Structure 1
Amino acid sequence: MRTEAEMMELILNFAKNDQRVRVVGMEGSRTNINAPKDRFQDYDISYLVTDLESFKKDDVWLDYFGERIIMQKPEAMSLFPPQLGNWFSYLMLFTDGNRIDLKLIPLDELNLYLSSDKLLTVLLDKDGRVHTPPIPTDRDYHVKRPTPEFFDDSCNEFWWVSTYVAKGLCRNEILYAAEHLNLYVRPNLLRMLAWKVGLDTGFSLSVGKSYKYLDKYLSIDLWDRLLVTYRNSSCEEMWQALFACQELFRETAGYVAQMLGYTYPDYDGKVTTYLKKLFEDRTQ
């Protein structure tokens, strides 16, 4: 596997030798001093270029970076609606295990790029266009203190969609139940746990994309109870996962509400009674 030094040299040498590339930036975990370092970190690179369309004519120039296992070009795919405006990206996984997520950005959108992400550093500026180089910080990714409205909405969504999970389980529609548990119920539990971490740490840190660092800030007991909610291979397991979600949500949301001076909704009890009745009646 090529080292970080070798990869950075490769990335910068291409830019130095191609007159169309005028500025090179890097974003993501490699600019974040608080992110754990490992061999799976992507190289999130942006080339600000004078002629973006000339790059898009073919992919031969990408061979410079190494032999690829697979590549994705999201802005050229029908499956995904374009989200980057005039920007164009190449997501590349190489045979040595390195990965480069390379964005091409029109040079006249430099200011937009510099303001697009706080975790950004400029690696190369051929023309001195960047007068005040940004200092990377992950503060935009810190857990944010919820407003009373946002807290209440999260509680409402959690308990409302819990009834959809139960309905699916009563019908033995396990895929329907799993989708609602995984896409709506558990994400609100994870959000509530992140707010607890925020309260416990003064809202001074990030729990990472997809809550991937959450285990570092929860007690062993809370973490083990969260993992129980991922046992979803049968309707019986999913019932237990749903009840585990509810118990953990109730405890965590109650803590968050108390610490922030918010009101925890009373419909928790009514929904819980309703779901337990469905569970008890499921074989009748």
Structure 2
Amino acid sequence: MSGSRPSKAQYESCCNEFFWCLNNVAKGIVRDQMPYAWRMYHQVVHVELEKMAEWYIAAEHDYSDLWRAIFAGCDLFRSLAVKVGTHLGYVYNEKDEKGMMRYLEMMKGETFTE
């Protein structure tokens, strides 16, 4: 995540690219060109989704506090992973999450000098 606020042009370009390229994904599915549809989705559409998600997290935290953005990203990931795991019949690994959250909290309080 760059942590910087997108310009109006970057924001509009992201929205345009996301929706405009979905038509290619849909065409590929309808034409049974699945490799093309998946490539368009992952290499173009999903990239724009990731940008918007990064901007969302940064916007929620004033584009400045990386620690807050990290913890917000962890909350979002947890929420999604639990729902996906439930849908697939998998158990979410809370032990790993809790261990990493303790580590991040510890690191957040550290000051390193050289």
Aligned to 1:183: 43
**Once superposed, what is the RMSD of the aligned Cα atoms?**
2.8
Given that 2:57 and 2:73 are in contact with CA atoms closer than 8 Å, whether structure 1 keeps it comes out as no
User: Match for residue 197 of structure 1?
Assistant: 57
Secondary structure (helix, strand or coil) at the match of 1:218 reads helix
Aligned to 2:74: 216
Q: Is contact 2:24-2:37 (8 Å) kept?
A: yes
1:173 maps onto 2:44 in alignment: no
Residue identity over aligned pairs, in percent, reads 26
Length-normalised TM-score, structure 2: 0.60
Q: Unaligned regions of 5+ residues in structure 1, if any?
A: 1-140, 228-284
The answer to whether the 8 Å contact 1:197/1:218 transfers is no
Report Cα offsets for 1:142-178 as digits up to 9, x if no partner. Answer: 4210111110000000001000000000011100000
- The 1-side partners of 2:49 and 2:78 are apart by 17
Aligned in 2, Cα 1:201/1:217: closer, same or farther, shift over 3 Å? farther
Select the structure with the greater relative contact order (CA < 8 A; seq sep ≥ 6).
2
Whether the 8 Å CA contact 1:197–1:217 is kept in 2: the answer is no
Measure, in 1, the Cα distance between the counterparts of 2:58 and 2:75.
10
> TM-score normalised to the size of structure 1?
0.26
Structure 1 runs (4+) greater than 6 angstroms displaced = none
Q: How does 1:87-166 map to 2 (within 5 A)?
A: 142-166=2-26
Higher share in helix: 2
CA–CA separation in structure 2 for the residues paired with 1:170 and 1:192? 27
Task: Name the structure where strand makes up a greater proportion of residues.
Answer: 1
Alignment-mate amino acid for residue 76 of structure 2:
L
Aligned length: 81
Q: Which entry has the higher C-alpha Rg, 1 or 2? A: 1
